[in-house]
Amino acid sequence: MADKLIIFDTTLRDGEQSPGASMTRDEKLRIARQLERLKVDVIEAGFAASSNGDFECVQAIARAVKDSTICSLARANDRDIARAAEALKDANRGRIHLFIATSPLHMEKKLRMSPEQVLEQARLSTRFARNLAADIEFSAEDGYRSEIDFLARVCEAVINEGATTINIPDTVGYAIPELYGNFIKTLREKVPNSDKAIWSVHCHNDLGMAVANSLAGVQIGGARQVECTINGLGERAGNCSLEEVVMAVKTRKDYFNLQVDIATEHIVAASRMVSQTTGFVVQPNKAVVGANAFAHASGIHQDGVLKARDTYEIMRAEDVGWSANKIVLGKLSGRNAFKQRLQELGVQLDSEADVNAAFAKFKELADRKSEIFDEDILALVSDESLAHEKERYGFVSLAQHSETGERPQARIVFTVGGQEVQGQAQGNGPVDASFQAIESHVKSGAEMQLYSVNAISGSTDAQGEVTVRLQSNGRVVNGVGADPDIIVASAKAYLSALNKLHSKADKVAAQG
């Protein structure tokens, strides 16, 4: 009988710590529902104590998602833990995930605590959490760079206090697979009550080995939970990629002999949703979910695949959801067909009024674009979800003129707090002119860090998806806009980023 490997997704918490990847409540809810459809075992919904906004997101996800365990991160103190418990109180299954650093470097420089103080804090915090919830995960931040004998004492103590999962993160991406796997194995051997908890791995990708390290922690170390994110999203170089771990274990079941309950046919939809929501584009050669993951350019490869797919393909594209990427809707499609496609894509809108508004946008797009792809629908719904937010800035219309030898100019009409305003400016190009026209009225003073354009589908009438990253007063945000007119998409993305800057959601950085 194969062991069960628990998939713990932290896209909505650790993934969101990527600069500019912060998401609205509605966006987080939509992704959480897709993760539930994916049959993720544990969804880390956020860090409830970090801000009122994060508390509300965790609470909303705990109420909406029924099939997955919902988890909130908390520092090892009573206030954070109580806040997490409050946010999770309506969950079918809730988990409090508390953490404290255990490496000499972190204890001395960051916490300014002695090892004995850290041990006592870990013990007392776990006891406090166990009185509020039955499912407690303890993470030793920077665990891999900790002294193993001290770490073993901490793990033994928190298991005695009721921790049901023990996570040993490679917080800074320093590990090497064989060494990390043996570290977990040796640690478990040193902890007398190690059999009373599930052991977990959480690896960062700074050296490009997060997936390899996680799998070594499982195969060599005996861990039975992997913490990961969709598309490997995360701060710095990212986290362990959910789709890569899952497909490695499923494809090489002969080696791992582990059961994974993930509904893999929904992986690509989840990948697209996270990418379009955060504006972090998936590289074409990304394993499993990249556009070229199942493409064969070599004549020899093409010939082999046509004769027998398994000559060059170790996975079937349809097994991870690529077969769902079909043209299914057009201008003659009705509301019921549109609503059905939303359900198939894992999109759940809050009310019939929202469905009607999204359908109106769909019909408008269908008049301009003959073939509607799944990516178009996800982009449209993502754009439509903004209507729920009491946003300061909204796009109305744009006119721009550009010709060789003349300085481009743009005139834009947009709303500020519900009132229409107009801006006009020249620029180095039509996009720059559009942004300058917005700034002529807004005067945000924000610094642009990224401007990126991605075609949503492959046709010449494809919608353009634009990501704009702005920085202001230490805050970094992403705005995403989509439209068949790339200049309009750019203006929408810029206004989207300004809306996020305008919202005062503050976050406390945390790392596990």
pLDDT of the residue at 383: 61
pLDDT of the residue at 422: 95
Digit-coded pLDDT (tens) for 39-65: 999 999 999 999 999 999 999 999 999
**Does residue 84 share a domain with residue 31?**
yes
Residue partners of 503: CB distance under 8 A and separation at least 6: none
pLDDT of the residue at 101: 97
Please give the torsion angle defined by the CA atoms of residues 256, 258, 264 and 267, in that order, rounded to the nearest 10 degrees: -70
Can you tell me the distance from the alpha carbon of 277 to that of 23, in angstroms, rounded to the nearest whole number?
A: 7
Domain boundary, last residue among 259, 278, 297: 278
pLDDT of the residue at 276: 82
The domain of 425 spans 388-502
**Does residue 265 share a domain with residue 139?**
yes
Digit-coded pLDDT (tens) for 141-181: 999 999 999 999 999 999 999 999 999 999 999 999 999 99
What residues of the chain score a pLDDT lower than 50? 1, 296-298, 300-302, 305, 324-325, 327, 384-389, 506-511
Which residues are 416's β-sheet partners? 393, 419
Tokens 């990212």, located at residue: 238
**Does residue 378 share a domain with residue 464?**
no
Q: What is the pTM of this model?
A: 0.84
**Does residue 181 share a domain with residue 74?**
yes
Domain boundary, last residue among 234, 261, 278: 278
**Does residue 378 share a domain with residue 393?**
no
**Does residue 185 share a domain with residue 204?**
yes
Residue partners of 139: CB distance under 8 A and separation at least 6: 97, 98, 99, 167, 168, 169, 202, 512
pLDDT of the residue at 509: 47
pLDDT of the residue at 302: 47
**Does residue 372 share a domain with residue 461?**
no
CB burial of 122-151 (b: ≥16 within 10 Å; e: otherwise) equals: bbebbbbbbebbebbbbbbbbbbbbeeebb
Can you tell me the distance from the alpha carbon of 290 to that of 311, in angstroms, rounded to the nearest whole number?
A: 20
Can you tell me the distance from the alpha carbon of 104 to that of 144, in angstroms, rounded to the nearest whole number?
A: 11
pLDDT of the residue at 77: 97
pLDDT of the residue at 338: 83
CB burial of 420-445 (b: ≥16 within 10 Å; e: otherwise) equals: ebebebebeebbbbbbbbbbebbebe
Residue 300 belongs to some domain of the structure: no
Q: Residue 289: enclosing H or E segment and its boundaries?
A: none
Residue partners of 113: CB distance under 8 A and separation at least 6: 107, 121
Q: What is the CATH number of the domain that holds 487?
A: 3.30.160.270
**Does residue 236 share a domain with residue 95?**
yes
Can you tell me the distance from the alpha carbon of 504 to that of 482, in angstroms, rounded to the nearest whole number?
A: 25
**Does residue 123 share a domain with residue 57?**
yes
